[in-house]
């Protein structure tokens, strides 16, 4: 379907890196095409950066860290973040449209990030005192004063994925601005435009040259160079387990601090006493939100056997009402997948699932006026087992696998039978069941009678192969600082 929504002037031109306050092309001169996933059309280019560009960005970040920025007071940093807050919100309609064009999410979703963005920026503005000194008592003989500080770690490298850059960038820039660190951010090559536009707004708001830098390019080139760089003190990465393992090995060179948010195959458990009017759409959108391209997606839906058939029937009926289309169409509820590569991956998993379980809804690429985009129908597989490929491997697409269970013990055993531990959900009217199951799921975040909500002041993280480190909350800010103790002899 064609739309008449205006395209921002920012889209459609060649985009460069932000390094040391200047916009510069890749040292090699090479570029990467920016593709609209709803149409398959090229919208412009970004820089295809490599090691030389990362070297320049890290050097700029180090210069800024050791320069004037190190003398900024907490009040100055707070005021800066609040200026960023106001400028970003003033331009949020443009940012939402850029995000929709670049990675496909419907405007209903990207516009909905406005309030969350306001919350996350206000939260980080409130955290500028995280490095405040304390005077803990000591047990030393004599007269000693003990001071304890938290100091900024230095240059932070951020590598974020394509499924939500307008969210992901703040997990890097927010704590860097709050603590006095500097940052070099490498967005995914499939979705960099919203990050680059935000970087423009940051400079306009008065962020000093070199405090934030953006280098675009492929992970194997720019991402690898950033992870390996000896001048980077901390890496924050969101992405695949395999890439994270490479980053862990690369961090050994200078013992970088790491924060890793990785994959998930999250369980969403529906008990027989659940309110199905709430649980069916809640569990379905726990899978399909952002076309299933969400790390915490509850793609393994465990349903108590006595209601399995009813749940599957109602979920299939609900799924068929979801409107899939161009994100600029105000009627679209789900957009395309990010790329042809991701579409091929998801369709391959659907083929595998069709040989393992019962396909009850969806399962096909959309044709007609959406054939040029990377659209796939939201899909439901039922009567599955937890050992099936579609129940064990992260698909990262709108594919739900419904698995029956009999009692709480079996539900927990199946839910935890995965290498991942990012998130989980529980649907029940029984408070005792809610407590037992939410405590029993091995995951960093568990939702009860809801799914996918997030308060940036609380944060989230994973366990097992879903990574380590915390995003949001005081813990996130303090991970950008290192502790220092000072002993003063007063005798």
Active site residues: 261
Among 415, 407, 465, smallest CA distance to 440 is for 415
Q: In 3D, which of 26, 264, 278, 75 has the Cα closest to residue 161?
A: 264
Strand 379-382 and strand 358-361: the pairing is: antiparallel
Question: In 113-179, which ranges are continuous DSSP H helix?
Answer: 113-125, 165-168, 170-179
DSSP state, 154? -
Q: Which residue has the tokens 């991942």?
A: 420
What's the alpha-carbon Rg for the chain, to the nearest Å? 23
Q: Which residues pair with 489 in a beta bridge?
A: 144
Name the 3-class secondary structure at 371: coil
Q: Which residues contact 340 (CB under 8 A, 6 or more apart)?
A: 40, 374
CB 455 within 8 A of CB 115: no
The C-alpha atoms of residue 42 and residue 35 are separated, in whole angstroms, by: 4
> Alpha-carbon distance 174 to 85, whole Å?
10
Which letter does DSSP use for residue 229 in this model? -
What's the distance, Cα to Cα, between the start and end of the chain in Å?
Answer: 80
Coil/strand/helix, residue 333: coil
Neighbours of 434 (CB within 10 A): 17
- Determine phi and psi for 452, rounding to 5 degrees: 90, 0
Report how many helices (DSSP H) and strands (DSSP E) the chain contains, helices first: 17, 21
| Number of neighbouring beta carbons within 10 Å of residue 108 | 17
Contact 327, 110 (CB under 8 A): yes
Beta-carbon contacts of 326 under 8 Å, excluding residues fewer than 6 positions away, are: 1, 2, 3, 38, 39, 332, 335, 336, 370, 373
* Cβ–Cβ < 8 Å for 397, 365: no
Widest pairwise Cα distance in the chain: 84
Instruction: Please give the Cα distance from 399 to 391 (Å, whole number).
Output: 10
């Amino acid at each position: 379907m064609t739309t008449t929504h205006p395209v921002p002037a920012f889209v459609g031109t060649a985009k460069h890196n932000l390094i040391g306050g200047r916009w510069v092309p890749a040292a090699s001169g090479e570029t990467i095409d920016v593709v609209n996933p709803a149409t398959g059309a090229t919208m412009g280019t970004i820089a295809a950066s490599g090691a030389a560009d990362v070297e320049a960005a890290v050097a700029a970040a180090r210069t800024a860290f050791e320069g004037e920025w190190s003398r900024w007071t907490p009040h100055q940093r707070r005021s800066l973040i609040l200026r960023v807050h106001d400028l970003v919100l003033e331009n949020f309609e443009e940012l939402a449209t850029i995000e929709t064009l670049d990675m496909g999410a419907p405007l209903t979703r990207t516009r909905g990030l406005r309030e969350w963005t306001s919350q996350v920026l206000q939260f980080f503005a409130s955290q500028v005192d995280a490095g405040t000194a304390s005077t803990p008592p000591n047990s030393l003989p004599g007269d000693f004063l003990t001071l304890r500080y938290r100091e900024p770690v230095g240059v932070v490298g951020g590598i974020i994925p394509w499924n939500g850059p307008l969210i992901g960038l703040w997990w890097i820039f927010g704590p860097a601005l709050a603590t006095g660190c500097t940052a070099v951010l490498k967005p995914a090559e499939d979705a960099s435009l919203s990050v680059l536009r935000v970087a423009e707004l940051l400079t306009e708001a008065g962020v000093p040259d070199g405090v934030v830098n953006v280098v675009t390019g492929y992970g194997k080139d720019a991402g690898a160079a950033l992870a390996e760089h000896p001048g980077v003190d901390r890496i924050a990465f969101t992405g695949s387990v395999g890439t994270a393992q490479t980053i862990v090995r690369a961090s050994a060179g200078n013992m970088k601090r790491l924060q890793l948010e990785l994959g998930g195959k999250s369980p969403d458990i529906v008990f027989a006493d659940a309110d199905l009017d709430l649980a069916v759409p809640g569990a379905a959108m726990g899978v399909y939100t952002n076309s299933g391209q969400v790390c915490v997606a509850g793609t393994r839906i465990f349903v108590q056997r006595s209601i399995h058939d009813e749940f599957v029937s109602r979920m299939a009926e609900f799924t068929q009402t979801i409107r899939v289309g161009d994100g600029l169409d105000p009627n679209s509820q789900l957009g395309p997948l990010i790329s042809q590569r991701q579409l091929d991956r998801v369709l391959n998993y659907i083929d595998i699932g069709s040989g393992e379980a019962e396909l009850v809804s969806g399962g096909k690429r959309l044709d007609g006026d959406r054939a040029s985009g990377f659209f796939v129908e939201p899909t439901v597989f039922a009567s599955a087992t937890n050992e099936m490929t579609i129940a064990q491997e992260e698909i990262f697409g709108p594919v739900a696998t419904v698995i029956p269970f009999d009692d709480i013990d079996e539900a927990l055993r199946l839910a935890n039978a995965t290498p991942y531990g990012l998130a989980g959900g529980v649907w029940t009217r029984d408070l005792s069941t809610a407590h037992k199951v939410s405590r029993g799921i091995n995951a960093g975040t568990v939702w009860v009678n809801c799914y996918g909500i997030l308060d940036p002041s609380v944060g989230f993280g994973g366990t097992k192969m879903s990574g380590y480190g915390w995003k949001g909350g005081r813990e996130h800010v303090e991970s950008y600082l290192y502790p220092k103790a000072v002993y003063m002899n007063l005798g």
